[in-house]
Amino acid sequence: MTGRSLLDNRLLCGAIGIAGLFCVAELAGRTGLIDPIVFPLASTVVGRAVELAADGDFLADVVSTLGAWAAGLLLTVLIAVPVGFLLGTLPRVESALRPVLEFLRPIPSVALIPLALLLFSDRFDMKVAVIVYAAWWPVLINTMYGLRDVDPLAKETLRSFGFGPLAVLWRVSLPSTAPFIATGVRLAAAIALILAISAELLGGGSSGIGTFILESGSSTDALEYTVAATIWAGAIGVISNSLFTLAERRLFHWHLARTEGTR
């Protein structure tokens, strides 16, 4: 392999990037920049994270969190995209709802989760509700902003052939907005994961990454466990994002071709 083709290898480059971060973190610990008592060494934490991979209970926690994550994300997309289209195409409705929406947007999870605990008797429902609440904003906003970017001539073309507003929405606005909505979904995916873990952390439960962190709270090594679990969250983020990117590349090849996508 030549140097050039090595640099073309995404997996290799990504691994080098991650390894670089690891080395920097380890060095910061070793040189005393960050006292290992205050924040554990990178190697310790990664060791713990690797140990966890063999821990059946923890893997069950991961699966449980992923379940709520997937359900929440799916529901998010199903709700946010249509609402985004509604608000994006009906400016009057949007400006009427705006004060309420903008009021709701900055409510933090620490305030939200206790309320959700009051309202839901089922933990899974509670998690999904909290995820949808927090994760739907990026999809909503990206949908609304994406709609503004639709080429008016493309819409007029379809209108001139006698298609109604719904058909224009479905056949022009949706496909041309889709790539930007997808970016919103990728944003939402990470937020959903964060909220799933936070809901388990604040709301308790019997399984989930957040519950795992809770349970380790009694340990004197709690910080190590927390950070190790966090690394797992990050890894899940990287993997899910790669899957999304892969799907986007297949679905939106036309978009890349037209816009000189740098790959």
Residues between 97 and 126 that touch other proteins (CB under 8 A): 97-100, 102-111, 113-123, 126
Question: Of the candidates 59, 96, 246, 247, which one interacts with other proteins according to CB under 8 A?
Answer: 96
- Check binding of 172 to other proteins (CB under 8 A): yes
Buried b / exposed e across 205-218, counting CB within 10 Å, b at 16+? bebbbbbbbbebee
**DSSP secondary structure letters along 168-183:** HIIIIIHHHHHHHHHH
Stretch binding other proteins (CB under 8 A), from 51-59, 70-78, 80-88, 185-193? 185-193
Contacts of 54 (CB under 8 A, 6+ apart): none
Stretch binding other proteins (CB under 8 A), from 49-57, 71-79, 80-88, 167-175? 167-175
Q: How far is the CB of 205 from other proteins (least distance, A)?
A: 6
Asked if residues 227 and 40 have their Cβ atoms less than 8 Å apart, the reply is yes
What's the rounded Cα separation, in Å, for the pair 88 and 165?
Answer: 13
Cα 246–Cα 250–Cα 251 angle in degrees, nearest 5: 115
Question: Of the candidates 133, 162, 247, 249, which one interacts with other proteins according to CB under 8 A?
Answer: 162
Position 170, amino acid: W
Stretch binding other proteins (CB under 8 A), from 51-59, 70-78, 80-88, 247-255? 247-255
- Binding letters toward other proteins, positions 42-71, x by CB under 8 A: ------------------------------
Q: Which is nearer to other proteins, 82 or 221 (CB)?
A: 221
Number of residues interacting with other proteins: please give it, by CB under 8 A. Answer: 123
Closest CA to 127 of 204, 16, 232, 19: 204
